[in-house]
Amino acid sequence: MEPGFVGQPTLTVLYDRDCGVCTATARAVGRLDARSRLEFVPAQTARIDGAPPRSQLLERLYAIDATGHWYSGAGAAIEIARRLPPLRIVGAMARVPGAMVVYELGYRIFAANRHRISAALGLKVCAVPSRGRARPN
């Protein structure tokens, strides 16, 4: 068994299936999940007791562990990383004082521009952009 992963609960990750970069990232991370520690569920169809409202689920990355603890934004990304040996360094770096502030800022910038990033990469772009922004061309 790998140190640090004994008995670690499964994490259910809610992602925006209408966002190209979100879907591509979920697929890529899923390929790293050799021990099936993650379950990816589209936020559009998720039915989880205590979940934030659907509009919130579509604005940020959300995850819930087996104990019912919710994570969002950079916190959710770090919880994903902590469960995958290839991404373990990301989780370790999050423990450095001030790192989560930087991670969250980076996450917010990425999330605010994910439709533009998807379009720039030639990926599917949601037909209903978040926060009333015009759809990228």
pLDDT tens for 28-52 read 999 999 888 999 999 999 999 889 9
Q: 62-71 — which CB contacts under 8 Å span 24+ positions?
A: 62/13, 62/14, 63/11, 63/12, 63/13, 63/14, 64/11, 64/12, 64/14, 65/9, 65/10, 65/11, 65/12, 66/9, 66/10, 66/11, 67/9
Residue 65: inside a domain: yes
Residue 64: inside a domain: yes
Those residues with Cβ within 8 angstroms of residue 114's Cβ, 6 or more apart along the chain or in another chain: 19, 21, 22
* Count of the separate structural domains present in the chain: 1
Q: Are 34 and 62 in contact (CB under 8 A)?
A: no
Which residues form the domain of 36?
Answer: 11-132
CA distance 2 to 88: 12
Residue 51: inside a domain: yes
Could you give the 3-state DSSP secondary structure of residue 95? coil
Residue 3: inside a domain: no
Range 45-61 burial, b when 16+ CB lie within 10 A, else e? ebeeeebbeeeebbbbb
Instruction: Report which of residues 55 and 6 the model is more confident about.
Output: 55
* Confidence (pTM): 0.81
Whole-number pLDDT of residue 10: 87
**What mean pLDDT, rounded, does the chain reach?**
85
